Structure 1
Amino acid sequence: MFSHLYPNFHKGRILKREMLENLRDYPRHFVDLYFQDYTDGIISGMDVTIGEGHLTVGRGIVKHQGRIYLFEREEHIPYEATGMETVLKIRFQEETSLTDYYVYETSYVLDTELESRLDERELGRFKLKQGARLRGDYQDLADMATEFNTWNIVHVEHAGRNEPTLAPYILRYFANEMLKTVTNHPYDLAFAMQCLNADRVERGLVLHYIGNRMGTGYREYTNLQILKYLARILDDAKSGGRSSKTEWKTGGRQRVIVD
């Protein structure tokens, strides 16, 4: 049998430990239960904006090793142009115990090691040349993976129901561009609407869409491969759907030069 307990405070009543424990535990239990089916990854927020010489990480919620972390204030992280690929990560410290608390500290680090360790989670990456300006505005979908001087969120893992998925920003960008085309393909319209209306789009749905749209069937792809295929689908929609399934399967349009 389950019951909902809510402390009833009245003047003259004894303040009991159980009443305070109820106030302490209820919000944490609610958050844990609400997100219990989500994988590790970014649940909400954690958007990075680019300033002059610094990155600003916004507020958000992250799940790491099954634990929910609330990042309740913005943080500024200075960066420099090194010409090397650099990853902005959250680094999670081991548990420490104080008299009244168990503490799980986190910090932001800029690291040239591209692979994240078990105690780290990526927020984005860049490779900035000397004298260049780091940018976060994109010319098109494929531009998000430009190697130099571009803030790259393609590899960031966002929490999903069964497995991590892509950043919602990427899929919303795709959807907005798709709806500007003249496509009448039912998969395009349905998928674009889903990307715009949902807080997140599950990775499996993205892979099924790519497989059905390209005629290649369901396949596992990395985040970078997914971005490239979505960019090709968008180009096809903009061209009026003149690409054939054979062209998709062979890696793109083939050019024949006659001398």
Structure 2
Amino acid sequence: MFTNVYPNFTKGRILKGDMLESLRDVPRRFTELSTEAYSEGIVAGAEVRITAEQLVVSRGLVKFGSRIYALEQDYSLPYQANGRETVLKIRFGEAVEQSDFTLYKADIVLDHEVSLRGNELELGRFKLKEGAKLRSDYQSFADFATEYNTWNRLHIPYSAVGQSSLSPQLTRYYGAELLSAGSTNAYDIAFAMQCLNQNTVNRELILRYIGSRLGMEYKAYDNVQIHKYLTRILEEAQLGTRARPDLRSGGPRRMLVD
């Protein structure tokens, strides 16, 4: 049967362990059930802000294994320009038994080792030349993949149903640019609406869209390949908009005579 148990903290009653356990277990069960079907990755927050000398990770939630880890306040760490690819990682440690708690701890580190170990998740990466400034203000959708001096979000796993998906900032940017391009393709309009209306877009939806839009067979592309194909679709849509003739009534008309 379904139940809803709430402890009665009233004057004169003895505080019992199971009363406190009920307060502990309900939010934990809610969190576990809400994210049970979701993959590992960022659940909420954990956005990276770039300053002149530091990377600032905002407070947030991430899922690793079956557990949710919380960053209660913003965390800053310094970075350097050395021309090498550097990855910002969450590195999960072993459980630590304490007298009152079992602590599952995860550290935020910068690492020149690009590949991820089994106990790591990525928060982004960069390759900064000496004397240059690291930026995260993208000039176009293709700019998200710029190799040098640009914060790269392509590899960040975001928690989603079934399997991890792309950064919401990436998909929102794409959706806005696609609608601005004026595409009349039904797939484009529907997908752009999903990008702007949802926080994290389901990965399979993205892959199905790419296959249908480009007339290709469905394939499990990685994040970099997905970005490449989305860039191609967007550029074609923008080119189609620019190539469209001016058909407005009373608009200027020119005749070219050879």
Q: Which amino acid in the other structure matches residue 52 of structure 1?
A: A
Match of 1:37 in 2: 37
Q: State the 1:111 CA deviation.
A: 0.4
Provide the C-alpha distance between the structure 2 equivalents of 1:226 and 1:232, rounded to a whole number of angstroms. Answer: 10
CA contact (8 A) 1:236 1:242 kept: no
Provide the C-alpha distance between the structure 1 equivalents of 2:199 and 2:143, rounded to a whole number of angstroms. Answer: 23
CA contact (8 A) 1:174 1:192 kept: yes
Deviations 1:170-205 (A, max 9, x none): 000000101111211110010000011112111110
Provide the C-alpha distance between the structure 1 equivalents of 2:59 and 2:154, rounded to a whole number of angstroms. Answer: 20
Deviations 1:30-77 (A, max 9, x none): 111111110111111110010011000001110001111111110001
Instruction: Give runs of aligned pairs for residues 226-241 of structure 1, distance below 5 A.
Output: 226-240=226-240
Q: State the 1:217 CA deviation.
A: 2.7
SS in 2 for 1:221: coil
SS in 1 for 2:108: strand
Structure 1 stretches of 4+ moved >3 Å: none
Give the TM-score normalised by structure 1: 0.91
Instruction: Give runs of aligned pairs for residues 57-68 of structure 1, distance below 5 A.
Output: 57-68=57-68
Match of 1:77 in 2: 77
Match of 1:202 in 2: 202
Provide the C-alpha distance between the structure 2 equivalents of 1:210 and 1:96, rounded to a whole number of angstroms. Answer: 45
RMSD, matched Cα: 1.3
SS in 1 for 2:61: strand
CA contact (8 A) 1:55 1:78 kept: yes
Provide the C-alpha distance between the structure 2 equivalents of 1:12 and 1:100, rounded to a whole number of angstroms. Answer: 26
State the identity as a percent.
51
Match of 1:223 in 2: 223
Further displaced range: 234-243 or 220-229: 234-243
Provide the C-alpha distance between the structure 1 equivalents of 2:92 and 2:220, rounded to a whole number of angstroms. Answer: 29
SS in 2 for 1:190: helix
Further displaced range: 72-81 or 10-19: 10-19
Further displaced range: 12-21 or 34-43: 12-21
Provide the C-alpha distance between the structure 2 equivalents of 1:46 and 1:87, rounded to a whole number of angstroms. Answer: 15
SS in 1 for 2:33: helix
Q: Which amino acid in the other structure matches residue 153 of structure 1?
A: R
SS in 1 for 2:15: coil
1:118 and 2:114 are equivalent in the alignment: no
1:129 and 2:129 are equivalent in the alignment: yes
SS in 2 for 1:152: coil
Further displaced range: 128-137 or 3-12: 3-12
CA contact (8 A) 1:86 1:111 kept: yes
CA contact (8 A) 2:182 2:241 kept: no
Instruction: Give runs of aligned pairs for residues 1-259 of structure 1, distance below 5 A.
Output: 1-240=1-240
SS in 1 for 2:207: helix
Q: State the 1:242 CA deviation.
A: 9.9
Provide the C-alpha distance between the structure 1 equivalents of 2:59 and 2:115, rounded to a whole number of angstroms. Answer: 24
SS in 1 for 2:69: strand
Q: State the 1:2 CA deviation.
A: 2.6
Match of 1:249 in 2: none
Provide the C-alpha distance between the structure 2 equivalents of 1:220 and 1:104, rounded to a whole number of angstroms. Answer: 32
Deviations 1:70-122 (A, max 9, x none): 11110001000011000000111111111111111111111011111111110
Instruction: For structure 1, list consecutive stretches of 5 or more residues without a partner in the other structure.
Output: 244-259
Provide the C-alpha distance between the structure 2 equivalents of 1:12 and 1:182, rounded to a whole number of angstroms. Answer: 69
